[in-house]
Amino acid sequence: METTAMHIANGIVDGPVSAVFAVLAIAALAVCVRKAGHDLDERLAPMAGLVAAFIFAVQMLNFNVLPGVSGHLLGGTLAVILVGPWVGALCVSTVLIVQCLVFSDGGVTALGLNITNMALLGTAAGYLLVAGLLRILPKTASGLAVTAFIASVISVVVASQGFVLEYALGGTTDLSLPWVSGAMAGVHVLIGIGEGLIAATTVATVAKVRPDLVYALRRFRKPVTVPEVGVTA
């Protein structure tokens, strides 16, 4: 078993800034809980739990990008397209809390920072892009796949820039911010492309078989005719 952390650890960002972002994360998640109730009512806990388990399970499926370099999904944009921004944010933050407590990935005091970046910033950017792009692109499986790819790449990079903002506010070492920003963006564009390819194909598969399960297509349900069930994409 080889496991490396990818969430912010303790001691990277100072105490006061961590505390501010923890409060921010709690407030935003309270809004998400209320909004998610509208999407799922009393089905919230079982279905959100299932989506969270799905994100978690997908993170366990490693895929060799090249021999020796393995990548795996972060799953934020995927969750947003499939279950919507509110449930998606709740699922990603639950995954982060469990990873922190059960798997020691991400510092306990940095939980607010990690939730802000990945569960809030990442899903918000992902959802805004998905909602915007679907206005322009065709509402078909391939249109959705292109949307998923673009939204994944950008939302992963946006989430990484959330860290740059936090570092600018409370970084424990004086570094040149453009350097930090560039390094984070560079690494995350690569992660985002892998993420985007997998998210795109996954969403396309679901959209072909059960289009009713795709939250992002819900608003366009009426004009959409039932797509034919394809053999393979």
Residues 83-102 binding another protein (CB under 8 A) are 90-91, 93-95, 97-102
Our CB check for another protein shows the closer of 90 and 125 to be: 90
Q: Does 228 bind another protein (CB under 8 A)?
A: no
Asked whether the beta carbons of 82 and 112 are under 8 A apart, the reply is no
Q: Does 48 bind another protein (CB under 8 A)?
A: yes
Q: Does 206 bind another protein (CB under 8 A)?
A: yes
Handedness of CA 33, 37, 39, 40 (dihedral sign): positive
Rounded to a whole number of angstroms, the CA Rg of the chain reads 18
Binding residue (CB under 8 A) for another protein from 31, 38, 209, 220: 209
Query: By CB under 8 A, which span of 48-56, 119-127, 131-139, 154-162 interacts with another protein?
Result: 48-56
The Cα 35–Cα 120 span in angstroms is 14
Q: Does 58 bind another protein (CB under 8 A)?
A: yes
The Cα 114–Cα 120 span in angstroms is 9
Using alpha carbons only, give the angle 72, 75, 79 rounded to the nearest 5 degrees: 160
Question: Least distance in Å: CB of 164 to another protein?
Answer: 13
Hey, what long-range contacts does 158-162 have (CB within 8 A, 24 or more apart)?
A: 158/121, 158/122, 158/125, 159/76, 159/117, 159/118, 159/121, 159/122, 159/125, 159/188, 160/117, 160/184, 160/185, 160/187, 160/188, 161/185, 162/116, 162/117, 162/121, 162/122
Q: Does 56 bind another protein (CB under 8 A)?
A: yes
Binding residue (CB under 8 A) for another protein from 23, 27, 31, 175: 175
Q: Residue 48 — φ and ψ, nearest 5°?
A: -65, -35
Question: Least distance in Å: CB of 153 to another protein?
Answer: 15
Binding residue (CB under 8 A) for another protein from 136, 174, 228, 229: 174
Binding residue (CB under 8 A) for another protein from 27, 31, 62, 221: 62
Binding residue (CB under 8 A) for another protein from 23, 27, 31, 108: 108
For another protein, the binding residues in 111-170 under the rule CB under 8 A are none
Query: By CB under 8 A, which span of 50-58, 120-128, 156-164, 218-226 interacts with another protein?
Result: 50-58
The Cα 24–Cα 115 span in angstroms is 10
Q: Does 49 bind another protein (CB under 8 A)?
A: yes
